[in-house]
A and B are shown apart, each in its own frame.
Chain A
Amino acid sequence: MLPLLADLEPKSFWNGFNGSLPLKVFLIGALVLGAVVLLAILRVPARLRRPVVAIFTFVSGFYYVLLWLWPTPIARDPKDAAVGLKENVSFFLADAQPVVANFSNILSGFLLGLGVFSLLRIHGRKVMKRQTDWGFSFVLLASMFAMILFGYWDFWIRQSPTGARLPFAPGDGWGPAQYGKDLLFDGFLQQMDATMFSLIAFFILSAAYRAFRARSLEATVLLLAALIVVLSLTGLIVQGWDSGVGALAGNNPDSFLMNFRLTDISKWLRDTVQTPSIRGLDFGIGIGLLAMSLRLWLSLERLEGDA
C-alpha cells in the first residue's frame, strides 16, 4: 500500500503523521467533516448560496495568490528550521504546495466519473432503443469496457510481488491481461491517435489551397511572407538560393547582398515581424486572462446562467 502522506522535506504539518494511527484518524475526521459541510451547504437558503460559493472560490484561489505574493524562502536547505513569522508562513506555504496541487487531482478523478456517466447514459440509450447509428455507440461502449477491464487487470497483476517484475515490453511472464492491454493501447489507441493527427496534413493543404489567394494588397504581402517561410524550411532550396546570392556577392561575408540570403530574410521575418507581433498578441491575451481570472476569483463575473 502506498504511504498516504509520504516523504516530504522537511518534516512539517503535512507529513507529521506519516503512515500512523493519527493519520487514519485525521482522514476519517476529514471525511466526516466533509459530509457535514456538504449537508450544511445543501440546507443553505437559495439567497445565501451565491455568497457561500463566493467564499469558497475566494479561499481556494487565495492560497495561490498568497503563495505568489509572500516572499519565497531563499537558500533553503531541507534541514533548515524557520525563523520568525515571515519564514514560518513562507515555509508552510511552500510545503503545502504539493498537497494543495493534489486537491485538483482528486477532484479530476471524481469528475471523470461524471463524464463516464454521461457517455453511458447517451450511448446506452441509443443501443437499448436501437436508435440511428446505434452501432457506433455499441463500439464505443465495448471499447470503453474492454480498456477498463484489461487496464485494471494488468494493473492488479503488477501490484503483486511477482507481477511487479513483469517487463513493460512483450516478454517472459506476459499473459492475456498484458497482451490485451498492449493490443488495445499500443495496437489501437496510439495508432488511431497518430491517424487523426495525420489528417491535419491533408486539411492544411486543402485550407491553404483555398485560402491563400492574393485578393488584396495585404493578402499578397501575407502570401509572399508565407512563401518565404515555407521555402526556408526546405534545405535544398535554401542551399541553392544562399549559394546563388553568395556567388553574386563574390562570397564576401561583409557584402550588403548577403542580407538577401534566404536564411537571413526568413530570420528577419521571424525575429523582426513575427516575434513582436506574437508578443503583442500574447500581452493582450495575458491581460484578458488576468482580468477574467480576477473576476472569477472575486466572483464579480455574473454568468449568463445566473439569475
Chain B
Amino acid sequence: MSKPTKEFNLGNLLQAFPRRGLFLLLFLAATLPLFTTVTLPNKPWDDSIDFYKNLVALQPGDKVLIGSDWTLGTRAESGGEFEALIRILIRRQVKFALYSTGDVQAPLVARDAIATIAKDEAANGQKLYKPFEDYVICGFFPNSEGETLAINNNVRGAFSGRKDYPENGPPQDVLQSPVFQGIRKISDFKYLVLVTPSNTERITFQRVKDTKLMFMVTGVMFVEDHNYYASGQLKGLIGGVKGVFDLETIMSKGYESIPPLPGKNEPGRGTKYYPALHACLGLLLLAVIAGNVGMWLSRKGVKS
C-alpha cells in the first residue's frame, strides 16, 4: 500500500514557520541596519519634549541628583539615555551626585560611562568634568526602600560616611565635595533623574516627594510610567530606544520652537539603533500577519 503524500499547505506553513528560521531573520534584521547610516524621520513624544525642556532650563551651578540603576545588559536603552543625560548636564554646567539602589554593578558602570563622555565632551571644547569636583558617586545602597526614604527625608544623612575618589587622590567624604555644598535637603537638588530598568522607579516614586522627578526607563516600563507623567507627578519621561532617539533628535536639530543643544552632537545610541528597531518591529508585524493569514487559510481549507 502506498503512503499518503503530504499536500503542500501554505496555511500550515505560515502558521508553523520554524522557530530557528524566525530567529535567523531577527538576527539579520537587528544587525544589518547597524552597518547603515540611515537617518529616519521622527516625531518626539510629549514626555521626551518636556524632559529635554526641563533639563536645558537648568542654569550653570544648579545641582541634580541622579539615580543610576542600569548595567550593560540594558545599554541600548538605559545606556543611551544615560549618555544623553550626562551630555546635557555637562553642556549646561550642572553638577550632579549619583547613587544606586538597584544593582551593585551600577555605580561602576556609571563611572566608566561618565569618564568616557566627559573626555569626549572635553575634546569637543566643553569643560572637562572631574570626579568629586563636578560630579560625585555615592555608591550602592542594598536596601532600596529604606535608603530612598532616607534620601527624601535626610539627604545628607543618607549619603553620610560614603567616600568617592577625586582625580588622582585618596577617597574623601562625598559630603565634602563641591557638589554637596549648599545641599541641606533634597529640594536643593533641582531634579532627581532616575535611569533604571528595574523596580526602583516604583520605589523612588512612592518615597521621594520633596523634589521634582524625571525618569528614564526602558520601553516596556514606559507604558506604566506614562501614567505618572500624564497625572503631572513626573515632569519628564524618556522610554526605550524611541525615547533616546527623541532626545537625540531634539539635541541635534531642535523641535518646533525648541532650539538644538549648543555643542557638537554626534549620533548617539538612539540614532544608531533606531533603524534596527524599525527592522525588528517590521519583522514582528510580518510574522504576526503571516501567522494570522496562515490561520485563515487553514480554516478556509478545512471548511471547503
Contact = CB atoms under 8 A, between A and B. Distances in A.
A and B touch in the complex (CB under 8 A): yes
B43 A238 contact: yes
A185 B146 contact: no
Contacts of A161: 170
A230 B42 CA distance: 14
B292 A201 contact: no
Interface in B261-304: 274, 277-278, 280-285, 287-288, 290-292, 295
Interface stretch (B5-13, B53-61, B92-100, B159-167): B159-167
B161 A77 contact: no
Interface in A159-205: 161, 164-165, 168-169, 185-186, 189-191, 193-194, 196-197, 201-202, 204-205
Nearest to A209: B287
B281 A94 contact: no
A84 to B, nearest CB: 20
Given A202-B23, A205-B23, A101 B149 contact: yes
Contacts of A3: 161
A101 B165 contact: no
A231 B170 contact: no
Contact of A212 (B143, B153, B288): B288
Interface stretch (A21-29, A35-43, A120-128, A269-277): A269-277
Nearest to B150: A98
A94 B165 contact: no
Main secondary structure of the interface of B (DSSP, over half): helix
Interface string B61-78: 000000000011111000
Contact of A213 (B105, B154, B295): B295
B259 interface: no
Given A9-B154, A104-B142, A205-B26, 9 more contacts: A3-B161, A94-B154, A98-B147, A168-B165, A205-B22, A206-B23, A210-B291, A235-B245, A239-B43
Interface residues of B, number: 67
Contact of B277 (A77, A214, A233, A275): A233
Given A7-B173, A164-B169, A101 B146 contact: yes
A236 interface: yes
B73 A213 contact: no
A78 B184 contact: yes
List the 9 shortest-distance A-B pairs measured between CB atoms, nearest first: A101-B146, A6-B161, A104-B143, A193-B73, A190-B72, A98-B157, A164-B170, A197-B73, A98-B150
Categorize the interface residue count of chain A. 35 or more
Contacts of B105: 185, 189-190
B22 to A, nearest CB: 6
B198 to A, nearest CB: 12
Contact of B156 (A9, A212, A230): A9
A227 B292 contact: no
Given A8-B157, A205-B287, A233-B281, A212 B292 contact: yes
Contacts of A202: 22-23, 26
In this complex, which of B161, B223, B230 has the most chain A Cβ atoms within 10 angstroms of its Cβ? B161
A105 B42 contact: no
Contacts of B72: 190-191, 193-194
A6 B173 contact: yes
A168 B285 contact: no
A97 B146 CA distance: 8
A278 interface: yes
Contacts of A186: 112
B123 interface: no
Nearest to A164: B170
Nearest to B241: A233
A195 B300 CA distance: 42
23 contacts: A4-B161, A6-B160, A7-B175, A9-B184, A78-B184, A97-B149, A98-B150, A101-B143, A102-B146, A105-B143, A168-B111, A169-B112, A190-B105, A194-B75, A201-B26, A201-B280, A205-B23, A212-B288, A212-B291, A235-B42, A235-B245, A270-B223, A275-B226
